[in-house]
Structure 1
C-alpha cells in the first residue's frame, strides 16, 4: 500500500466510478464506503477492496439490501468471515452498533485461479470458509486483518496473505472481463446473441466459460446488469417512461419487465422510485 495521500486518491477515483451500483435504496444508507485498488500483482484478479464502516449507536438495526454483481467477494467481518459466491436473489446485511467490514471484490472470473481448478458455480448462492479454499485458519486471519488500526493496515495484511498464494495469470479472466465490460457499456446488449459477433467462440463455449469462471450464465449477467440500470434510473429521481425502458432493456413489454423487477427487488419499479 502507498502513503495515506495515495490511498485517499484511489478511494475518490474508484468510488466515483462504482458508487452505489447494486445498493438498493442508496439515498437512505447508514454507512460509509471506501474503495481501494489492489497492488499491481493482484490487479489481474481483483477489481478493488471495499471497506464499510458504520456507527448506529442509539439507533435501531439497519437492513441494507443489495443486488449483487456477478463476482466473488471475500469478506472479513467479525465471526462472519467467508468467501461468498454470486447470490442470484436480492441479499441483505443487518448493521447494528458500531462495526467495520473489509471486502475483496474479485474481477468477474478472477477468483477461479485461486479455487484449485474447481468450478466457481460451486459457490453460487452459497459460501465457503477460508479453510476450505486456502487451508488456513479463518479465525486467525480474521483477527489479524480486523485488528489493524486503519484501512491501509487491514488491506496490507490480506495482500501479503494472497501474494504468498499467487496463481499463474489466466487469459480467460481478461476475456471474461472484456465481455462483461461490453455488457455494462452497451445497453442494447439484451441477449447472448448480441455478444457473439467477433467473439471467436461458440455460444456453448461461452456458456461453459461463464459457468466455470463466473458461476452464472451470460444470460443471467445481461439480465442482472439491465436490472441494475433500471434500479439506478429509479434512484436518480427522474421521470421515466417505463414502457419504453422495458423494451430498451430487452423485455417483451412493460408487464414482463414489472414482473421481473418486482420478483427481484420486492416492489414494482414505480413503487421503488416513490419509496426512494
Structure 2
C-alpha cells in the first residue's frame, strides 16, 4: 500500500485540510476509525467494498460513531479529500449533521458527469488533484464561518475531549440548546459526540501503551468497564486487541 499526501491550493485551504491518495496493489482490509471531519472519497481506479458490498465510486462520508472495515481490492486507487471542521458547508447546501453516520453518493448531491469524465482521462495523480481542486473551487458557495463554533472545536481539541459541554457553552455566552443546534449544523455531530471522537483519537495516538488502567484514568474514565465499552464502540476491538494490531491509517 502507498499513501500520497497533497496540500490544497490557497483558495481551498480555508475549507480543505488535505488530499490523500491511497494505492493498493493487492487486497487489503483496513479498519477505518471514526474521524472528526467529513471526507469526500473519489475512486480513481479499481474496486472498494465494505461488508462484501461495492461502494459507490464517489461518496461523502460524515462523522461516525463506529468504525468500518473497508476492502481495497487489488489495483485500487482512491482520492480522499479531508475537510476542515465546518469546511464541508462551503460546498453543499445541506447541513453537516445530515451526513452523520452516513455515506452519501456524490451524485445524490451534485452533477458529477464532468468530474467522472475528467478523472477517467487523467494521466497521473497530480492531474487528478488539479481536477478535484477545479471541481471544488467552482462549487464554493458559502464562505461564511461560525467563529463561535470553531472556537468551541478548538477548545475541545485543546482539552483532548475532556471538558464539560455545559461549561463550554456557558463560557461562550450561549444557551446549551442553541449551542448544540449550531454545532450540529456546522460540524456534523453533537458537541458531546465530537468530544468523544477527539478523546478517542487522543487515546489511540499515545505512544508505548502498556498500562490500560492508567490509560483509562488519564483519559477521564473512572473505571475500566466504561473505558472498555467506549473504546470498543470507537474501534470495534477491546483495548488490548487494538493496540496489538493498530489500523493502517
Correspondences of 1:133-152 after superposition (within 5 Å): 133-134=109-110, 136-138=111-113, 140-152=114-126
SS of 2:222 mapped into structure 1: coil
Correspondences of 1:1-276 after superposition (within 5 Å): 31-56=1-26, 61-77=27-43, 78=45, 80-116=57-93, 118-134=94-110, 136-138=111-113, 140-172=114-146, 174-187=147-160, 189-193=162-166, 195-196=168-169, 198-233=171-206, 236=207, 238-275=208-245
Return the alpha-carbon distance in structure 2 between the equivalents of residues 218 and 162 of structure 1. 27
Return the alpha-carbon distance in structure 2 between the equivalents of residues 218 and 188 of structure 1. 10
Return the alpha-carbon distance in structure 2 between the equivalents of residues 187 and 273 of structure 1. 19
Q: TM-score, normalised by structure 1?
A: 0.76
Gaps of 5+ in 1: 1-30
**More displaced stretch, 189-198 vs 265-274:** 189-198
* Structure 1 ranges of 4+ moved more than 6 A: none
CA RMSD in angstroms comes to 2.3
SS of 1:74 mapped into structure 2: strand
Structure whose residues are more often strand by fraction: 2
Return the alpha-carbon distance in structure 2 between the equivalents of residues 273 and 198 of structure 1. 37
Q: Judge conservation of contact 2:91–2:141 (CA < 8 Å) in 1.
A: yes
Gaps of 5+ in 2: 46-55
User: Which residue of structure 2 lines up, in the alignment, with residue 19 of structure 1?
Assistant: none
**More displaced stretch, 265-274 vs 87-96:** 265-274
The size of the alignment, in residue pairs, is 235
Q: Check 1:263–1:163 CA distance in 2 against 1; reply closer, same or farther (3 A cut).
A: closer
Q: TM-score, normalised by structure 2?
A: 0.83
Deviation at 1:180, TM superposition (A): 2.3
